[in-house]
Amino acid sequence: MQNKLKYACIGAGGIADKKHLNEYSKLNAVEITAICDCDIEAAKRLAEKYKIPHVYTDYKAMLAEQRLDLVSICTPNFLHAEICIDALEAGVNVHCEKPLALNAEEVLNIIEEKNKSGKKLMVALNNRFTNEAAHIYELIEKDFFGEIYHAKCGWKRNSGIPGIGRWFTDKKLSGGGPLIDLGVHFLDLALYFMQFPRAVSVYAATYSAFGRDADRIRVGYKSIKDGVFNVEDTAVGFIRLENDATIDFDFSWASNIEKEQKYVELLGTKGGLSFVNGEIKLYSQIGNACYTLTPDTKTIPLAQNECRHFVECIISNKEPSASVEQAYELMKIIDSAYDSASKKKEVRLTSKMQFGKYGQRILAQSY
């Protein structure tokens, strides 16, 4: 039998516990070897819960001392690029939480290191791995929708600021507010369903209407008195893609709406989709009438688990879903949306980067 993959988790906060350690601890092919958090108490808490033998406060020491095959990166966003590069350099496969980095430039640095190392890197875009998303992707492959010419996507909360004054609300630590936090998930899902055409322009606006409103904090999150809040709480925008398709988006941590809503809607020449809060409705014409179809949810097959998918990719040398190249396209859109919001005008994505043998940057033609 093949040796188990030696796994460690960097960052021992909410997502490390709820997803990474919870899922990797169920996989026979994986042995959880170490955990690292600069907060030793946080690391010890999860070490005890998951029976992890080695505890670190310095991930570089952990990478040097443990012969790891795989790490999860579950730290605040501003550390993702640096830790990804160090882990890849140490010859370790990386499962990095979203967003992969603070901006597209940092993603390029990661791509260069990944290509040099020959290791695998998957971005934790878990919304691709739900049973419903996998079923929608199956319908796309079966051409239910025809040509998809427009999508709407969003994730809006009435009361969901993840604590004021923590890293989430400080732009230099998080990269931004709900656009980068929630937007990476549902922009990714819309682009994934549309087969990731490149974006050519973005027109966006951001708002900070509830920034300091203590009533609009997400349940379970704490604020820090007098902490920084310099990110948006709402972002809306419109993206034009190279195939003339378009996406309109709407992300918010706090707004005056009835309830939380996560959605992707697709308009195709043969069919349409509404995928709202996990519920699928399909629209099409049959004979002379327009139909609404809803699946019997009990018959939707179980999708691949995100962590198991990554382990299988490492073992069988396959490229994972949610690649760094797609993360780069996504980050270019997010960078351009922030740029558009601050300039109050449409921003064209003026150049596209292509990747040479070792990921060296080649400036390709301008749009």
> CA 179, CA 184: separation in Å to the nearest integer?
7
Burial 278-288 (b: 16+ CB within 10 A, else e): eebebbbeeee
Measured from the CB atom, is 73 or 349 closer to ligand NAD?
Answer: 73
Dihedral over alpha carbons 165, 168, 174, 176 (to 10 degrees): -90
Q: How far is the CB of 245 from ligand NAD (least distance, A)?
A: 26
Of 121, 124, 31, 129, which is closest to residue 85 (Cα–Cα)? Answer: 121
C-beta separation of 259 from 158 below 8 A? yes
The residues near 339 (Cβ < 8 Å, ≥ 6 apart) are 202, 347
Q: How far is the CB of 286 from ligand NAD (least distance, A)?
A: 37
The phi, psi pair for 69, rounded to 5°, reads -100, -25
CA angle 218, 221, 222 (to 5 degrees): 125
DSSP E strands in 74-198: the ranges are 93-97, 121-124, 148-156
Q: What does R_g of the chain's alpha carbons equal in angstroms?
A: 21
| C-beta nearest to ligand NAD: residue | 13
Measured from the CB atom, is 74 or 202 closer to ligand NAD?
Answer: 74
Measured from the CB atom, is 38 or 300 closer to ligand NAD?
Answer: 38
Measured from the CB atom, is 79 or 122 closer to ligand NAD?
Answer: 79
Strand partners, 276: 263, 279
Measured from the CB atom, is 21 or 204 closer to ligand NAD?
Answer: 21
C-beta separation of 272 from 293 below 8 A? no
Q: How far is the CB of 84 from ligand NAD (least distance, A)?
A: 12
Measured from the CB atom, is 97 or 250 closer to ligand NAD?
Answer: 97
Residue 344 class from Cβ within 10 Å (0-12 exposed, 13-18 middle, 19+ buried)?
A: exposed
Q: How far is the CB of 271 from ligand NAD (least distance, A)?
A: 28
Query: Where do contacts with ligand NAD occur on this chain (CB under 6 A)?
Result: 10-16, 36-39, 42, 59, 74-77, 79, 97-98, 124, 126
Q: How far is the CB of 36 from ligand NAD (least distance, A)?
A: 5
Measured from the CB atom, is 38 or 200 closer to ligand NAD?
Answer: 38
Q: How far is the CB of 126 from ligand NAD (least distance, A)?
A: 5
Q: How far is the CB of 352 from ligand NAD (least distance, A)?
A: 26
